[in-house]
Amino acid sequence: MPEHVLATDLDGTLIPLDDSQDNQRDLATLRGAFQSPDRVLVFVTGRHIESVEEAIRTFDLPKPDWIICDVGTTICHVREDATCAVHQPYADYLATIVGEFTAARIRELMTPIEGLTPQEEAKQGRFKISFYAEADQLRQLVPQVEKIIAQQDAPYSVVDSVDPFNGDGLIDLLPRGVSKAHALDWWCERQGHPRQEIVFAGDSGNDYAALVAGYRTIVVANAAQELVDAVHQAHQEEAWADRLFLATAKATSGVLQGCRHFGICP
């Protein structure tokens, strides 16, 4: 069994920040470290798979072994030639959750709601239904979406956010209970990785569930103080010892700091 596993968010975490030479240098160190056969690299991201592949090329990221994407609704295995294959057992598992409520049916149920615009086809998934909305309308739109879901007893949850890059309002409908953390938990159990083997790195609110799931945890220095405080409190309440590393460096460099702290990288 592999000795070490790094599961990491991409944007704001593994991906270098603009014009950061330290991040670029430390990314090269991580790239070299994860060429070792006793290390496994898992990307855990809200991006869709095409966007992940583009990020790997654009930022020259190390080749992952697995990709958990689409906010936890897709798991892909990365082959030796760097092509990606959807992990069918996970797709079969999600299919048992949604049952007859396919993505097409959910989109149809949402058509009466004014202000929702379906996202591009590439950003949709078999188990992820995504819409754009005006950011200042999210507070009004989300209850309308939730009301329809409740009326239909559809096994979905609603996640809203604001795109940090362009300010777009985003609404995702995911199979009930599914998240980045849920997918990572499922993957670890099926792959036979004890929790003590896993190190998870993140920077933002949608990483919170994984940051407090019991894995060894890296929070990079560009994370919001509110998130840092919440994660620190959760670890204290669980009385976990040496499972939280608060990096003093941002993004990629913070990931490397944490990997060294937990003994993944020399």
Residue 1 has pLDDT above 50, yes or no: no
Residue type, 245: F
3-state secondary structure of 35: coil
Q: How confident is the model at residue 135 (pLDDT cuts 50, 70, 90)?
A: very high
Residue 92 has pLDDT above 80, yes or no: yes
Per the confidence metrics, is the pTM higher than 0.95? no
Residue type, 256: L
Q: Tens digit of pLDDT for each residue in 254-263?
A: 999 999 999 9
Residue 129 has pLDDT above 70, yes or no: yes
**Considering only CA atoms, which of 104, 76, 106, 124 is closest in space to residue 176?**
106
Find out whether 53 and 84 touch, Cβ atoms under 8 Å: yes
CA pseudo-torsion sign 141, 142, 143, 145: positive
Q: Tens digit of pLDDT for each residue in 143-189?
A: 999 999 999 999 999 988 888 778 899 999 999 999 999 999 999 99
3-state secondary structure of 142: helix
Q: How confident is the model at residue 2 (pLDDT cuts 50, 70, 90)?
A: low
Give the residue, 83 or 196, on which the prediction is more confident.
83
CB neighbour burial string for 146-171, b if at least 16 within 10 angstroms, e if fewer: eebbeeeebbbebbbbeeeeeeebbb
User: What is the reported pLDDT for 122?
Assistant: 87
Q: Tokens standing for 154?
A: 């559809």
Q: Tens digit of pLDDT for each residue in 24-72?
A: 999 999 999 999 888 999 999 999 999 999 999 999 999 999 999 999 9
